Structure 1
Amino acid sequence: MEIKGKSVEELEEVASKIRERIIDVVSRKGGHFSSTLGAVELTLGMHYVFDVNSDPFIFDVSHQCYAHKLLTNRWEEFETIRQFGGLCGFTKPNESNADYFVAGHSSTSISLAVGAAKSIKLKNQDRVPVVMIGDGSMSAGMVYEALNELGDLKLPVVIILNDNEMSIAKPIGAISKYLSKILAGKFYQSFKARVDKFIRNNMPEGTTYLAKRLESSIKLITPGILFEEMGIDYIGPIDGHDIEEIIDTLNIAKSMQKPVIVHAKTVKGKGYKIAEGQHEHWHGVGPFNVEDGEFIKKSTQKSATSVYSYSLLNLAKKYENVVGVTAAMPSGTGVDKLIEAYPNRFWDVAIAEQHAVTSMAAMAKEGFKPFITIYSTFLQRGFDQIIHDVSIMNLPVVFAMDRAGIVGNDGETHQGAFDINFLRFIPNMILFAPRDNETLENSLEFAYTLSSPCAIRYPRGSFKELDFKATNFELGKAELLKDGNSNKLFIGYGNGVSKAIDVEKLHEEDIAILDLRFIKPIDKNILKTLSDKYDSWYVFSDSQKQGGVASAIMEALSELEITNINIKSFEYEDSFIEHGDTTKVEESLGLLAKQLVLLVDK
Structure 2
Amino acid sequence: MYTLAKPTTSFLEAISNPSELKRLTTQQIQSLAGEIREEIVANLSKTGGHLASNLGIVEITLALHKVFNSPEDQILWDVGHQCYVHKMLTGRRNQFDTLRQYKGLSGFINPLESPHDAFVAGHSSTSISLAVGMAIARDHLGKENKVIAVIGDGGLTGGMALEAINHLGHIQRNVLIVLNDNEMSISQNVGGFSQYMKRIKETFFYKDIKSKLDLIEDKLDSAKITPAVWEMILAVKKQAKERFDTPGIVFEKLGVNYSGPVDGHDVSAVIAAFESVKDKTTPQLLHIISQKGKGWGPAEKDAIKYHGVSAFSLEPPLSEKVEPAFAPKPKAKTYSDVFSQALIELAALEPNMVAITPATAEGSGLVKFGHKWPERFFDVAICEQHAVTMAAGMAKAGLKPVVSIYSTFLQRAIDQVIHDVAILKLPVIFGIDRGGLVEDGETHQGVFDIAIMRAIPNLVVCAPKDARELRNILYTALKESSAPVAVRFPRDKAVDAEGIEGFETINFRCWEIVEPGETVEPGNKSSPATNEFKEVIVLAYGAMVNTAVQALPLLKQKGVRPTIVNARSTKPLDTEMLAKFLANPDAVLITLEEGVLTGGFGSAVLEFASQQKVIHLGKKQADVYNVAIPDHFVEHGAREILLDLVGLSSSKVAEFILHVVG
Aligned to 1:495: 543
Match of 1:526 among 577, 591, 612: 577
Q: How many angstroms apart in 1 are the aligned matches of 2:332 and 2:579?
A: 38
Q: How many angstroms apart in 2 are the aligned matches of 1:181 and 1:299?
A: 60
Trace 1:282-361 onto structure 2 (pairs within 5 A).
Answer: 282-291=306-315, 300-361=331-392
Q: How many angstroms apart in 1 are the aligned matches of 2:513 and 2:422?
A: 24
Q: Residue 244 in 1 paired to residue 292 in 2?
A: no
Sort the Cα spacing of 1:526 and 1:100 in 2 relative to 1 into closer, same or farther, 3 A.
same
Aligned to 2:593: 541
The residue matched to 1:568 in structure 2 has which SS?
strand
Q: After TM superposition, give the deviation of residue 210 of structure 1 in Å.
A: 7.5
Moved more, 91-100 or 172-181: 172-181
Q: Residue 394 in 1 paired to residue 394 in 2?
A: no
Q: Residue 58 in 1 paired to residue 76 in 2?
A: yes
Q: How many angstroms apart in 2 are the aligned matches of 1:464 and 1:180?
A: 62
Q: How many angstroms apart in 1 are the aligned matches of 2:595 and 2:269?
A: 49
The residue matched to 1:542 in structure 2 has which SS?
strand
Q: Which amino acid aligns with 2:235?
A: K
Q: How many angstroms apart in 2 are the aligned matches of 1:147 and 1:11?
A: 32
Aligned to 1:106: 124
Sort the Cα spacing of 1:190 and 1:361 in 2 relative to 1 into closer, same or farther, 3 A.
farther
Kept after mapping to 2: 8 A contact 1:180/1:235: no
Aligned to 1:423: 453
Kept after mapping to 1: 8 A contact 2:462/2:510: no
Q: Which amino acid aligns with 2:399?
A: F
Q: How many angstroms apart in 1 are the aligned matches of 2:370 and 2:268?
A: 42
Kept after mapping to 1: 8 A contact 2:200/2:248: no
Give the TM-score taking structure 1 as reference length. 0.92
The residue matched to 1:413 in structure 2 has which SS?
helix
Q: How many angstroms apart in 1 are the aligned matches of 2:496 and 2:546?
A: 8
Q: Residue 365 in 1 paired to residue 416 in 2?
A: no
**Which segments of 5 or more consecutive residues in structure 1 lack a partner in the other structure?**
none
Q: How many angstroms apart in 2 are the aligned matches of 1:23 and 1:411?
A: 22
Kept after mapping to 1: 8 A contact 2:404/2:433: yes
Q: After TM superposition, give the deviation of residue 29 of structure 1 in Å.
A: 1.2
Aligned to 1:256: 280
Deviations along 1:142-172, one digit per CA (max 9) or x if unpaired, are: 1110000101111111111111126342435
Q: Which amino acid aligns with 1:497?
A: V
Q: Which amino acid aligns with 2:474?
A: L
Q: Residue 593 in 1 paired to residue 650 in 2?
A: yes
Q: How many angstroms apart in 2 are the aligned matches of 1:560 and 1:476?
A: 21
Sort the Cα spacing of 1:578 and 1:517 in 2 relative to 1 into closer, same or farther, 3 A.
same
Q: After TM superposition, give the deviation of residue 532 of structure 1 in Å.
A: 3.3
Kept after mapping to 2: 8 A contact 1:224/1:234: yes
Kept after mapping to 1: 8 A contact 2:628/2:646: no
Kept after mapping to 2: 8 A contact 1:268/1:277: no
Match of 2:467 among 416, 437, 440: 437
Kept after mapping to 2: 8 A contact 1:274/1:293: no
Kept after mapping to 2: 8 A contact 1:417/1:542: yes
Number of aligned positions between the proteins: 588
Moved more, 533-542 or 222-231: 533-542
Aligned to 2:565: 514
Q: How many angstroms apart in 1 are the aligned matches of 2:630 and 2:219?
A: 61
Deviations along 1:284-337, one digit per CA (max 9) or x if unpaired, are: 11122335699xx99832110000111111000111000120010111111111
The residue matched to 1:162 in structure 2 has which SS?
strand
Q: After TM superposition, give the deviation of residue 545 of structure 1 in Å.
A: 0.5
Q: After TM superposition, give the deviation of residue 586 of structure 1 in Å.
A: 1.8
Sort the Cα spacing of 1:43 and 1:483 in 2 relative to 1 into closer, same or farther, 3 A.
same
Sort the Cα spacing of 1:482 and 1:278 in 2 relative to 1 into closer, same or farther, 3 A.
closer
Sort the Cα spacing of 1:374 and 1:539 in 2 relative to 1 into closer, same or farther, 3 A.
same
Aligned to 1:477: 512
Q: How many angstroms apart in 2 are the aligned matches of 1:189 and 1:376?
A: 56
Trace 1:1-400 onto structure 2 (pairs within 5 A).
Answer: 1=15, 2-165=20-183, 167-172=197-202, 175-176=205-206, 211-218=234-241, 220-276=244-300, 279-291=303-315, 300-400=331-431
Deviations along 1:80-101, one digit per CA (max 9) or x if unpaired, are: 0111110000000001110001
Deviations along 1:24-49, one digit per CA (max 9) or x if unpaired, are: 10122110010111000000111011
Q: How many angstroms apart in 1 are the aligned matches of 2:632 and 2:578?
A: 29
Q: How many angstroms apart in 2 are the aligned matches of 1:385 and 1:425?
A: 14
Q: After TM superposition, give the deviation of residue 462 of structure 1 in Å.
A: 1.2
Sort the Cα spacing of 1:351 and 1:537 in 2 relative to 1 into closer, same or farther, 3 A.
same
Deviations along 1:41-88, one digit per CA (max 9) or x if unpaired, are: 000111011111201110000121110000000111011011111000
Sort the Cα spacing of 1:466 and 1:298 in 2 relative to 1 into closer, same or farther, 3 A.
closer
Kept after mapping to 2: 8 A contact 1:438/1:470: no
Q: Which amino acid aligns with 2:566?
A: D
Kept after mapping to 2: 8 A contact 1:232/1:260: yes
Q: After TM superposition, give the deviation of residue 216 of structure 1 in Å.
A: 4.3
Larger Rg: 2
